[in-house]
């Protein structure tokens, strides 16, 4: 067989089924690569003993017969999911050393499917960021060019998969945090419909937006992982949808004849870099060859998505992060005068600049006299943005366009201007505000040989259709098969 890090999740599952490799051998191989490329900054925690114990259990399960395809295949989790076997920090100093007494539902379901966890992956602190430069434990580098960002907030997940340190990883997407790093690192990543995957055990940033999803090399791999992750969780997550688990691989090979792909004119306006536009146009031409029809549509409130998101998300964050105060878990300031002083010093010392910025913004827009002017108005426009999508879906079946206006930028390029990071989310925020499924699929390369992703957006519960379009595109192209040279 080829080297394990050259194989996809589906291929590794087949090798395990054929008994050409064991789960322990795969775990050993990937743990070695993690150590070899530690300077990438992708992993925040590993535990060799815990991983090998899971691998031995997977081998025993396969030996007993009837094990699922994913049994024994390694993965890693974004450090926003709580895990019993590994520490959970959410990329923040305020949770340094924290260990959860339980696993997040997504973690548990993938473990029940037999997958072996290699460790926890870096992320922007509490998932707040577009570059993975906001992690309290240092930035993550993009394997395609280590002088550039991998995207965020799931940058550790994207970098680890792109570098072949792990065949697949979990991520979370609040405003584009699966799709954008997948685009920047040449991967396939999907955010399902809000509520498809349980949020139980996923440390909350913005509760009405956060959603878990997989990141891997291929649409087939994402379909396998998403099938294992999704399903109702009414006893633990009141926002989970009452939709049964679904086999997303079932429709991967359906034809695209007659499929109407909507192209929002607002996504192809002046802010889009020429190199990204060229890659997107070429990918769309391939989909036309496969039988799809391109239709121009409009999402007229696209530009409003940025101010709406950066009112609603910080407002929810200011509430969710109030629990981190030094009382029950995590960091407590070593010196303080009284309880109020302990709160202030703990939060000042524990939270990074971006988190503090968003907490203050959120508290402001929820304060007396400003709630109606900002938060309530943002919620009204959010509903209008969702309505724009429903109007668009009367004219098309799938919406396509760029994931980001440019390829990955250089580390530190936006350090003095946090608004530059915010503006880079222009194409991913609308689908998040509407709660729609969206994904990124490799579409080519732009400036500096950096990857470009094609964004696909579907109507509610249409993840299977998105994965089908992505899979057929990947059968016609080889962008998803290419690897960064330093990590072959």
Indicate the DSSP class of residue 487: G
β 451-457/438-445 pair status: antiparallel
> Treating both helix axes as pointing N-terminal to C-terminal, what angle do 274-289 and 463-476 enclose, rounded to 10 degrees?
90
Beta bridge partners of 173: 211
Dihedral of the alpha carbons of 35, 39, 45, 49, in degrees to the nearest 10 = 10
Torsion sign, CA atoms 410, 415, 418, 420: negative
Interatomic CA distance for residues 122 and 66, integer angstroms: 34
Each residue's pLDDT expressed in tens, for the chain with a length of 488 residues: 789 999 999 999 999 999 999 999 999 999 999 999 999 999 999 999 999 999 999 999 999 999 999 999 999 999 999 999 999 999 999 999 899 999 999 999 999 999 999 999 999 999 999 999 999 999 999 999 999 999 999 999 999 999 999 999 999 999 999 999 999 999 999 999 999 999 999 999 999 999 999 999 999 999 999 999 999 999 999 999 999 989 999 999 999 999 999 999 999 998 999 999 999 999 999 999 999 999 999 999 999 999 999 999 999 999 999 999 999 888 999 999 999 999 999 999 999 999 999 999 999 999 988 999 999 999 999 999 999 999 999 999 999 999 999 999 999 998 878 888 899 999 999 999 999 999 999 999 999 999 999 999 999 999 999 999 999 999 999 999 999 998 98
What is the DSSP secondary-structure string of 26-64?
HHHHHHHHHHHTGGG--EEE--HHHHHHHHHHHHHHHHH
Is residue 191 within 8 A of residue 181, CB to CB? The reply is: no
Reported as half-sphere exposure (CB side, CA atoms, 13 A), residue 171 has a value of 39
CA 473 distance to own-chain centroid = 21
Reported as half-sphere exposure (CB side, CA atoms, 13 A), residue 263 has a value of 18
Starting at the earlier edge strand, list the strands of the sheet with 260-264. 43-45, 116-121, 74-78, 168-173, 211-216, 188-191, 438-445, 451-457, 398-402, 260-264, 293-297
Is residue 127 within 8 A of residue 170, CB to CB? The reply is: no
Task: Mark out the alpha helices in 321-423 (DSSP H runs).
Answer: 339-350, 353-366, 377-392, 418-423
Interatomic CA distance for residues 455 and 428, integer angstroms: 8
The confidence score (pLDDT) of residue 418 equals 80
Q: Catalytic residue positions?
A: 78, 153, 177
The confidence score (pLDDT) of residue 250 equals 97
Interatomic CA distance for residues 116 and 75, integer angstroms: 6
Cβ neighbors of 186 (< 8 A, separation 6 or more) are 144, 162, 442, 451, 453, 479, 480, 482, 484
The length of the chain in residues reads: 488
Domains of the chain: 4-253 (3.90.1300.10)
- For residue 404 the two structure tokens come to 């980001």
Interatomic CA distance for residues 393 and 459, integer angstroms: 7
């Amino acid at each position: 067989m080829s080297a394990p890090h050259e194989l996809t999740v589906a291929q590794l599952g087949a090798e395990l089924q054929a008994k050409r490799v064991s789960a322990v051998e795969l775990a050993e191989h990937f743990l070695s690569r993690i150590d070899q490329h530690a300077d990438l900054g992708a992993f925040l925690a590993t535990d060799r003993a815990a991983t090998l114990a899971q691998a031995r259990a997977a081998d025993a399960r396969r030996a007993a017969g009837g094990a699922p395809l994913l049994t024994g295949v390694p993965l890693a989790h974004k450090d926003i999911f709580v895990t019993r076997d590994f520490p959970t920090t959410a990329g923040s100093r305020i949770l340094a050393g924290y260990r959860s007494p339980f696993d997040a539902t997504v973690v548990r379901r993938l473990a029940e499917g037999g997958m072996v966890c290699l460790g926890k992956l870096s992320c922007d602190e509490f998932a707040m960021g577009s570059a993975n430069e906001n992690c309290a434990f240092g930035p993550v580098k993009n394997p395609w060019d280590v002088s550039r960002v991998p995207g965020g907030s799931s940058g550790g997940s994207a970098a680890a998969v792109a570098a072949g340190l792990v065949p697949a990883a979990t991520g979370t997407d609040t405003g584009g945090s699966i799709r954008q790093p997948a685009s920047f690192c040449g991967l396939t990543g999907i955010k399902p419909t809000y509520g498809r995957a349980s949020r139980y055990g996923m440390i909350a940033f913005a509760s009405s937006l956060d959603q878990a999803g997989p990141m891997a090399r291929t649409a087939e791999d994402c379909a396998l992982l998403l099938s294992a992750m999704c399903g109702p969780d009414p006893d633990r997550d009141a926002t989970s949808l009452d939709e049964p688990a679904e086999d997303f691989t079932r429709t991967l090979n359906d034809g695209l004849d007659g499929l109407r792909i909507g192209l929002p004119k607002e996504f192809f306006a002046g802010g889009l870099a020429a190199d990204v536009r060229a890659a997107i146009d070429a990918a769309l031409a391939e989909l036309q060859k496969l039988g799809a029809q391109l239709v121009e549509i409009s999402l007229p409130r696209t530009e409003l998505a940025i101010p709406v998101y950066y009112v609603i998300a910080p407002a929810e964050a200011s509430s969710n992060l109030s629990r981190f105060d030094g009382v029950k878990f995590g960091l407590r300031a070593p010196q303080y005068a009284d309880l109020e002083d302990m709160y202030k010093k703990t939060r000042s010392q524990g939270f990074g600049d971006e988190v503090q910025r968003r907490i203050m913004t959120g508290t402001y827009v929820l304060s007396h006299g400003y709630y109606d002017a900002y938060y309530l108005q943002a919620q009204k426009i959010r509903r209008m943005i969702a309505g724009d999508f429903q109007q668009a879906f009367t004219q098309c079946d799938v919406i396509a366009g760029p994931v980001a206006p440019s390829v990955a930028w250089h580390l530190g390029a936006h350090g003095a201007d946090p608004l530059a990071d915010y503006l880079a989310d222009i194409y991913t925020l609308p689908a998040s505000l509407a709660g729609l499924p969206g994904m990124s699929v490799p579409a080519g390369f732009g400036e500096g040989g950096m990857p470009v992703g094609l964004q696909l957006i579907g109507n509610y519960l249409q993840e299977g259709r998105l994965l089908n379009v992505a899979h057929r595109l990947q059968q016609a192209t080889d962008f998803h098969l290419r690897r960064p040279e330093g990590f072959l």
